[in-house]
Amino acid sequence: MKLVIDESRCKGCNLCVLVCPYGIFREGTELNSRGIVSPVLDRPERCTNCRLQALYGRMLCGICHMICPDQAISWVEEKPFEPHRVEVEF
Amino acid sequence: MIAPDWLREDRLPHIYCTGCGNGTVINCTLAAVEEMGWKRDETVFVSGIGCSSRAPGYILTDSLHTTHGRALAFATGVKMARPEFNVVVFTGDGDLAAIGGNHFIHACRRNVDMTVVCMNNHIYGMTGGQGSPTTPPGAISTTTPYGMSEPAFDLAELAVAAGANYVARWTSYHVKELTKAITAGMRTPGFAFIEARTQCPTNYGRHNKLRTVPAMIEHIRSHAMLIEKRDRLVREGRPVPEDIFTIGELVRRNRPAMGVRR
């Protein structure tokens, strides 16, 4: 699972920064296209729900998902070991 | 876990200000509905007028957006006409305590089988920050520029006194507990009243030196005290701070209810 912030819904209230026990959310610094400073993710693979939801088969923690007033935080499925295309510039 | 198929995705993002606690309460209510396993065409959301009462507009069920303060009267009508429906009322403090106060105590007295989620943000947020009956003493609003001089309404205690079957109070910071309380209220036959203290950084925090959303949440969290802890302090004869409010489950009882499904 992968943690994502829906930039089209986030209003930049930084409540997720306050509640995340791992400190995954950091206050952003740059305005996005809607003029909102949305939080940035700091190593989101540390999130317990990302790592262990498939193992336990239920929602773990999930405080950021519940407290987000704009329903912007969610988890998306990702295929295991997706091959990434790496471009090397010479 | 909130179900995304209960939200009207095309209406999002909603109109609430940045950091408004009402969105959190919508999340908790939808998580509770999901846990109850209610069907979408047997659930009705009723609301009055105000910021909080915009909430059913973002939920994909049948809903009623009614006149100011009369959400409980309309919800009683829905429950009497169709007792098999699950009725949830979203309401705010100005809607429920000020203009709809009489409907509220009589719905508690009749013990109509419904769940009322009150988003108490201490102020009339939508109309520009006027003082409401739940504005705490000393708080500054546009109609109380020298500080609120009247004592505030304690809605949860009022519901206990009027006879509701389930009464709880949490804040929008305590999301897991709030979800559990709403689920317990939905399970209880009879009137279930859940007061959620929410933050209003735009119209309450701006006038009371709580301008940012984390400051407002921190203020609510630090002024909340578990009811068990308050009782323990009283029992031990230790001083209870003046400006706190109690959170937790206030009452769960089994008075005869009206409109329960046969």
Instruction: Go through the domains of chain B in sequence order and give each one's CATH number.
Output: 17-252 (3.40.50.970)
- Number of Cβ within a 10 Å radius of residue B48: 28
Q: Is B250 on the interface with A (CB under 8 A)?
A: no
* pLDDT at residue B181, as a whole number: 95
Beta strands per DSSP E along A1-90: 2-5, 25-26, 40-41, 73-76
Beta-bridged to residue B254, according to DSSP, are none
Q: Which two tokens stand for residue B102?
A: 């009489």
- Place B10 in a pLDDT band, splitting at 50, 70 and 90: confident
Beta-carbon separation of B13 and A13 below 8 A: no
CB A28 within 8 A of CB A38: yes
Fold for the domain defined by A2-76: Alpha-Beta Plaits (3.30.70)
- Place B3 in a pLDDT band, splitting at 50, 70 and 90: low
Q: What is the secondary structure of B19-77 as a DSSP string?
A: T-THHHHHHHHHHHHHHHT--GGGEEEEE-SSSGGGGGGGBSSEEEE-STT-HHHHHHH
* pLDDT at residue A83, as a whole number: 67
The pLDDT tens digits along chain A (90 residues) read: 888 898 899 998 889 999 998 889 999 898 988 899 999 998 888 888 888 888 888 888 889 999 999 989 988 887 776 666 767 766
Among B1, B14, B172, whose Cβ lies nearest the Cβ of A62?
B1
Q: State the Cα–Cα distance between residues B141 and B182, nearest whole angstrom.
A: 30
Region B43-72: what's the mean pLDDT?
92
Q: Is B214 on the interface with A (CB under 8 A)?
A: yes
- Place B49 in a pLDDT band, splitting at 50, 70 and 90: very high
Q: Which residue of B has its CA nearest to A18?
A: B214
Start-to-end Cα distance in chain A: 34
- Distance between A70 CA and the closest CA of chain B, angstroms: 6
* pLDDT at residue B86, as a whole number: 92
Q: State the Cα–Cα distance between residues B185 and B190, nearest whole angstrom.
A: 9
Q: Which two tokens stand for residue B236?
A: 């031990």
pLDDT above 80: residue B81: yes
Among A14, A18, A67, whose Cβ lies nearest the Cβ of B24?
A67
Q: Which residue of B has its CA nearest to A38?
A: B18
* pLDDT at residue A44, as a whole number: 82
- Place B19 in a pLDDT band, splitting at 50, 70 and 90: confident
pLDDT above 70: residue B1: no
Instruction: Tell how strand B192-197 and strand B166-171 pair up.
Output: parallel
Beta-carbon separation of B175 and A71 below 8 A: no
Among A62, A69, A74, whose Cβ lies nearest the Cβ of B19?
A69
Instruction: Tell how strand A25-26 and strand A40-41 pair up.
Output: antiparallel
Q: Which residue has the tokens 């705490």?
A: B136
Q: Is B123 exposed, middle or buried (0-12, 13-18, 19+ CB in 10 A)?
A: buried
Q: Which of B204, B226, B229, B228 is nearest to B216 (CA)?
A: B204
- Distance between A89 CA and the closest CA of chain B, angstroms: 40
pLDDT above 80: residue B53: yes
Q: Is B227 exposed, middle or buried (0-12, 13-18, 19+ CB in 10 A)?
A: middle
pLDDT above 90: residue B89: yes
ipTM (interface predicted TM): 0.85
CB B10 within 8 A of CB A69: no
- Spatial CB neighbours of B158, under 8 Å, sequence gap ≥ 6: B104, B105, B108
- Place B243 in a pLDDT band, splitting at 50, 70 and 90: confident
Region B146-153: what's the mean pLDDT?
91
Q: State the Cα–Cα distance between residues B138 and B74, nearest whole angstrom.
A: 35
CA diameter of chain B: 55
* pLDDT at residue B103, as a whole number: 94
pLDDT above 80: residue B25: yes
Domain ranges of chain A: 2-76
Q: Would you call B258 helix, strand, or coil by DSSP? A: strand
Among B18, B21, B23, whose Cβ lies nearest the Cβ of A12?
B18
Q: Which residue of A has its CA nearest to B2?
A: A66
- Distance between A81 CA and the closest CA of chain B, angstroms: 27
B residues 3..62 contacting A (CB < 8 A): 4, 7, 12-14, 16-24, 26-28, 31
Q: State the Cα–Cα distance between residues B222 and B34, nearest whole angstrom.
A: 30
